Structure 1
Amino acid sequence: MLPLVTRDELKAMLDAGEVVVVDTMPPAYYAREHLPGAVNIPGFPYEEAARLTDELAPAVLPHRAAPIVVYCANTPCRNSELVGARLVSLGYTDVRKYREGIEDWVAHGLPTRTAAG
Structure 2
Amino acid sequence: MSRAKLQVFEQFAELARVLGHAHRLELLEYVAQGERSVERLAQLSGLSVANASQHLKQLRLGGFVQARRDGKRVLYGLADGPILSLLAALRTYAERNRPEVGKIVSDYFHRLDELEPVSRKELVHRLKAGTVVVLDVRPQDEFVLGHLPGAVNIPVDELKRRLADIPKNQEIVAYCRGPYCVFSFEAVALLRRHGYKVRRLQDGYPEWRAAGLPVGSS
* Partner secondary structure for residue 118 of structure 2: coil
Aligned residue type for 2:160: D
Structure 2 unmatched runs, 5+: 1-112
Give aligned-pair identity as a percent.
37
Counterpart selection for 2:201 from 89, 98, 107: 98
Q: Given the alignment of the two structures, is residue 15 of structure 1 paired with residue 118 of structure 2, yes or no?
A: no
Which structure has more helix as a fraction of its residues? 2
TM-score scaled by structure 2? 0.46
> Is 1:110 aligned with 2:213?
yes
Question: Relative CO higher for 1 or 2, CA cutoff 8 Å, sep ≥ 6?
Answer: 1
Runs of 4+ in 1 over 4 A off after TM superposition: none
Q: Is the aligned partner of 1:40 residue 2:153?
A: yes
Q: Distance in 2 between matches of 1:22 and 1:2?
A: 19
Q: What is the match of residue 46 of structure 1? A: none
**Inter-partner Cα distance in structure 1 for 2:163 and 2:216:** 21
Task: Spell out, residue by residue over 1:9-53, the C-alpha distance to the aligned partner (whole angstroms, 9 max, x if none).
Answer: 00100111110000011001111111011001212xxxxx3xx11
Q: What is the distance in 1 between the residues matched to 2:144 and 2:184?
A: 17
Paired residue total = 105
3-state SS of the aligned residue for 1:64? coil
| Contact persistence 1:24–1:40 (CA under 8 A) | yes
Give the aligned partner of residue 119 of structure 2: 6
- Cross-structure match for 2:141: 28
Select the structure of larger CA radius of gyration.
2
Which residue in the other structure is 1:80 paired with? 184
Deviations 1:64-116 (A, max 9, x none): 23111000111111110111111111111x2010031111101100011112x
Q: CA RMSD in A?
A: 1.2
Unaligned runs of 5+ in 1: 44-48
Question: What TM-score, normalized to structure 1?
Answer: 0.84
